[in-house]
Amino acid sequence: MNEEAYKGYRSAELEYQFNPRVSVPEFPQLAEKRAEESRKVRALLKSWLNVPYGSSPREVLDVYPAAKAAGPVLIYIHGGYWRSGTKDDNCGFVPIFVDRGVTVVVIEYDLCPQVTVTDIVRQSRAAIAWTYRNITQYGGNPSRLYVSGHSAGAHLTAVALAHEWEREGLPRNLIKGAVVTSGVYDLEMVMHVSPNEQIRMTSEIAKENSPFLHPPLPICPVIVAVGGAEPTGWQQMSQDYFKFCTELGIDCEYLVVPGANHYTMSEHLADAHSPLTQAMFHQMGI
């Protein structure tokens, strides 16, 4: 691991600031709690599970339809530092959105080191494109498509906002709103922390997938959210991305979720009365 300072931090400090498993040592218990809530959702809610959007075994997604057709669609991209996590353990928030008339799509993707971050960016964009083209079959309205992601999923959402969708024969503004929570936006930083043993970030991959080098197109409003209990370095990434978006003229809102750490953000997402969820409801007009 690189011992040189990065943005004023030494290696041990970098691990605390930019490795959530270090800053939140109780993460295994919090992850299991989230997984248990998700198991209940998958067992109880009407759904189409493991619908393929590509050829890889993990290029699948779950669709949770609203009771009424033609409502908005929320695509959710889970986190895990591109090296861990599964859609199966990240759907506890779904019921409160379905109850509001939203069809929710939770996507899966391959993980590092079996693939690169570049591959995962391609997969997440493919899942979004598949959803736009096919969600009518599941009762959703493709003209009301929203995307949200947490941690690595926030990065994948950010680069989706930079994508020129018309090259794929899709509307430039197919994404009507985005919410990025606790995102990993500084890809150069990743090369200085231990998770990179699995991620295998390089300067080339970082440049190819940086949200700062590939800015969001001014097509929709964006909410940049972060937990108030997250380390200052991690929060700084969200502050920097918010400032970047604002300077580009993006309709952008910054939201600090009081008391939330990296792993309890999902609890706030699953609370219909939390500031985060209320902001998402407002963005979606529901």
Q: Are 108 and 196 in contact (CB under 8 A)?
A: no
Residue 181's pLDDT band (cuts 50, 70, 90): very high
Please state, in angstroms and rounded to a whole number, the distance separating the CA atoms of residues 155 and 79.
9
Give the C-alpha distances (Å, rounded to integers) separating 53 from 58, 172, 174, 268.
9, 21, 18, 29
Please state, in angstroms and rounded to a whole number, the distance separating the CA atoms of residues 252 and 245.
7
Q: What is the pLDDT of residues 135-171, one digit of tens each?
A: 999 999 999 999 999 999 999 999 999 999 999 999 9
> Quick one: pLDDT at residue 51?
98
CA angle 145, 154, 267 (to 5 degrees): 90
Q: What is the pLDDT of residues 201-245, one digit of tens each?
A: 999 999 999 999 999 998 999 999 999 999 999 999 999 999 999
Beta bridge partners of 181: 150, 225
Residue 11's pLDDT band (cuts 50, 70, 90): confident
Structure tokens at 36: 């248990």
Q: Which CATH number fits domain 11-274: 3.40.50.300, 3.40.50.1820, 3.90.1150.10, 3.40.630.10?
A: 3.40.50.1820
Strands 175-181 and 140-150, by their bridges, are parallel
Chain-centroid distance of CA 268 in Å reads: 15
Q: In what order do the strands lie in the sheet with 103-107?
A: 48-52, 60-64, 103-107, 71-77, 140-150, 175-181, 222-227, 252-257
- Smallest CA-to-CA distance from 216 within 172, 181, 184, 257 is with 172
What mean pLDDT comes out for the span 53-74?
97
Structure tokens at 16: 């605390």
Give the C-alpha distances (Å, rounded to integers) separating 29 from 21, 24, 32, 33, 67.
11, 10, 5, 6, 33
Q: Which run of H or of E encompasses 41? A: helix 27-44
Chain-centroid distance of CA 29 in Å reads: 21
> Quick one: pLDDT at residue 2?
45
Q: Are 73 and 111 in contact (CB under 8 A)?
A: no
CA angle 247, 268, 77 (to 5 degrees): 65
Q: What is the pLDDT of residues 72-108, one digit of tens each?
A: 999 999 999 999 999 999 999 999 999 999 999 999 9
- Residue tagged 């699995």 (tokens): 198
Structure tokens at 108: 């899966």
Please state, in angstroms and rounded to a whole number, the distance separating the CA atoms of residues 109 and 54.
10
Please state, in angstroms and rounded to a whole number, the distance separating the CA atoms of residues 106 and 281.
17
- Smallest CA-to-CA distance from 179 within 62, 257, 279, 105 is with 279
Domain boundaries, the chain: 11-274
- Between the CA atoms of 150, 152, 156 and 159, what dihedral angle is there, to the nearest 10 degrees? 110
